[in-house]
Amino acid sequence: MRRGFSLPEIALVLAVLSLTLGIALPQLGALRNSLAVSRAAAEIAAAHRRARILAILRSRPVVLSVSRDTLTIRPEGISTDVWGGSGPGAQGVSLPGPVRRMTFSPVGLAMGLSNASFPLARGGATRTVIVSRLGRIRITQ
C-alpha cells in the first residue's frame, strides 16, 4: 500500500491553488476597499446623528468637526470634546478638503452653511456622504 503523494500530484495541486489565488486576491482587495469606504461613510453619518441628538438633549448648540483624521463633537464655546472618534484616514480612506464644522442648534437643525458633501475614496471604491441642514443624510456610491 502506497502512502503520501507523488511529485506530479503535488505540482498539480500547487498549480491549481496558485491559479485560484491569482484570480481571487484582486477581488478580495477590491472588497476590502469597498468595506473600508462604507464603514467610514457610516461613521460620518453616525457622528452627524450623534451631534444632532446631543444638541437637542443638552439644549445648546453643538459643533461637529469632520477631518481626515478625527471626528469630534463639542458644545459651542467649550474647548473640551464630549465625543471623539477616528476619522476616515485611520482606515486608509481619503477625505479631501479642509476640516468641516457643522453647528447644530438646540432644536436639532444645522445653523449657517451646513449643507455638506464628504467624498470618500480608497482604491477604486468611492462613497459620498451628503448632509442637508435639515438633518437628512444620504450615502451615494
pLDDT tens for the chain, 141 residues long, are 678 888 888 899 899 988 888 887 777 888 899 999 999 999 999 999 999 999 999 999 999 999 999 999 999 988 899 999 999 999 899 999 899 999 999 998 888 776 889 999 999 899 999 998 787 899 998
Q: What is the pLDDT of residue 108?
A: 87
81 falls within a domain: yes
First to last CA, the chain: 60
Tell me the β-bridge partners of 140.
Answer: 128
What is the number of alpha carbons within 13 Å of residue 67 lying toward its C-beta? 9
80 falls within a domain: yes
The range of the structural domain enclosing residue 17 comes to: 7-140
The number of angstroms, rounded, from the C-alpha of 69 to the middle of its chain's C-alpha atoms is 11
In angstroms, rounded to a whole number, what is the distance separating the alpha carbons of residues 101 and 114?
8
2 falls within a domain: no
CATH number assigned to the domain comprising residue 86: 3.55.40.10
pTM: 0.81
Q: How many domains does the chain have?
A: 1
120 falls within a domain: yes
Q: What is the pLDDT of residue 56?
A: 94
1 falls within a domain: no
Q: What is the pLDDT of residue 132?
A: 85
Tell me the β-bridge partners of 102.
Answer: 64
108 grid coordinates: 436639532
Residue burial 4-14, b: 16+ Cβ < 10 Å; e: rest: eeeeeeeeeee
76 falls within a domain: yes
The number of angstroms, rounded, from the C-alpha of 55 to the middle of its chain's C-alpha atoms is 23
